[in-house]
């Protein structure tokens, strides 16, 4: 799970880890020293440890307050 995720969403964990794995496959450096050559394994560990920052646009839109005229 994602440490700062108050809902404990497994879906969010999978999406964030998948996007991070794509970054690693594209040449991004791992945030952890790892012996695993699989980007998915490295990405999941980075997300579990809270090293990957993300923002949930759907949640941000929920909390937007309309401007008063």
Annotated domain spans of the chain: 10-62
Q: Is the pLDDT of residue 64 over 90?
A: no
* 14-46 per-position pLDDT tens digit: 888 999 999 999 998 888 887 778 999 999 999
Q: Does domain 10-62 have CATH number 1.10.10.410?
A: no
Q: Which of 53, 55, 24 is nearest to 41 (CA)?
A: 24
């Amino acid at each position: 799970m994602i440490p700062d995720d108050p809902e404990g969403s497994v879906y969010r964990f999978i999406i964030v880890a998948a996007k991070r794995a794509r970054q690693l496959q594209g040449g991004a450096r791992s945030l952890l020293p790892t012996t695993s050559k699989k980007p998915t394994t490295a990405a999941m560990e980075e997300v579990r440890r809270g090293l990957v920052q993300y923002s949930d646009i759907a949640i941000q839109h929920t909390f937007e307050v309309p401007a008063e005229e």
